[in-house]
Amino acid sequence: MRHSCLFAAFTLTAFGLAGCGPDSSSDDGYLNPATDVDLPMESFRLRNTEGLAPVLQYTTFQDLYRGLEPATDGKDNGSAMALRGHLDAFLGTTPTDDGSDYTSVRNPLDLINEVIRSGQVSNFNDGRRLMRDSIAEDEAASYNTPANDALVRFTETGGDSAASDSTWIYVMLDWTYNPMQDKVYRATQFVARAPADSEDNPAEVASASWSGRYNASSFGDSGFNQPEYAATSYTGRTRGNVELLQEFVGTQRDTLTLTKANGLEINGEQPDCVKVVLTYGESLARVFTSTDEEPTLEENGERRPNPEHCGNQQNGDEAINYETVVVSSRQ
């Protein structure tokens, strides 16, 4: 039987977020309610609208995007602007005039998260109600689209985007309740359509995934659910990979890792690996970089972490260390 744990490997190792249950829960008396979803919408772009409840505060990268801002101008050696510029291609951001925040985003993960939060799709609402029912009965259950051969498709009807970027396909959406851990897990996977040969500048995101863990006692079947941990991953066509690990309990911290990075300049160099650890309680950013370093090295016939690779560097190895502006009310 297939399982639907899509947390990044480093997330599983560091935080033990394993425990996603099987993608069919009929043995426990619950039927998997996942069905095909085909949702047309005028625009994939998310923005705050006057007179309506804000939406940008729920986007995944806003805390990090704002939190990169140095408390004192210049102390970051320009790294905040460089990092935001690199992320813009993945997130589809429209930055504010000073570049310290954004006024809109257009990307597949923020969009499906907002559709779920706002309750626009009845079948997604069924998935969250299944979680609440299973929590109340203390029995395992899962909503899983692959198990039912269901597909989630969003279509942008009012934009002028290329055909490959106006239909977004989510090959997996899963909620799972694990009663032994008293946790709810959600995972999403997106795969972009292949661009046509005539597309000169296709959308950067080739694939993406999001995974989160929730405290079952506070998990609701409507509105926004605050995860305890979340892992986001983007695979780009030309700019490399983006991974963001967010910790919302205990240490309030985001860890951004860019690998196979292309066109990014930090400290006058062009590293292919950048790790940023942003600790919100301390309002402190640490930026680690490396170039042409493999994550692991072979030693005596065994693979071991390469301490020179940016992902393995420790406090004291950072290229830049600076105080940031205060970011409150993380979510």
Digit-by-digit pLDDT tens for the chain (331 residues) are 333 333 333 343 334 444 444 444 444 467 999 999 999 999 999 999 999 999 999 999 999 999 999 999 999 999 999 999 999 999 999 999 999 999 999 999 999 999 999 999 999 999 999 999 999 999 999 999 999 999 999 999 997 788 889 999 999 999 999 999 999 999 999 999 988 877 788 999 999 999 999 999 999 999 999 999 999 999 999 999 999 999 999 889 999 999 999 999 998 999 999 999 999 999 999 999 999 999 999 888 889 999 999 999 999 999 999 999 999 877 6
Residues 6+ apart with CB under 8 A from 60: 109, 110, 113, 210, 230, 232, 244, 246
CA 147 to CA 197: how far, in whole Å? 34
The residue among 43, 47, 156, 148 whose CA lies nearest residue 102 is: 47
pLDDT given at position 328: 83
Q: Please tell me the total number of residues recorded for the chain in this structure.
A: 331
pLDDT of residue 196: 81
CA pair distance 164, 261, nearest whole angstrom: 24
Beta strands in 78-151 (DSSP E): 94-95, 102-105, 141-144
Q: Round to whole Å and give the CA distance between 111 and 89.
A: 16
Cβ contact 108:170 at 8 Å: yes
Alpha helix ranges (H) inside 20-121: 62-67, 79-91, 108-118
pLDDT at 12: 38
Three-class SS state of 233: strand
Cα–Cα distance measured from residue 53 to residue 49, given in angstroms and rounded to the nearest whole number: 7
Cα 91 to chain center, whole Å? 10
Tell me what pLDDT residue 1 has.
Answer: 32
Tell me, what's the pLDDT at 326?
95
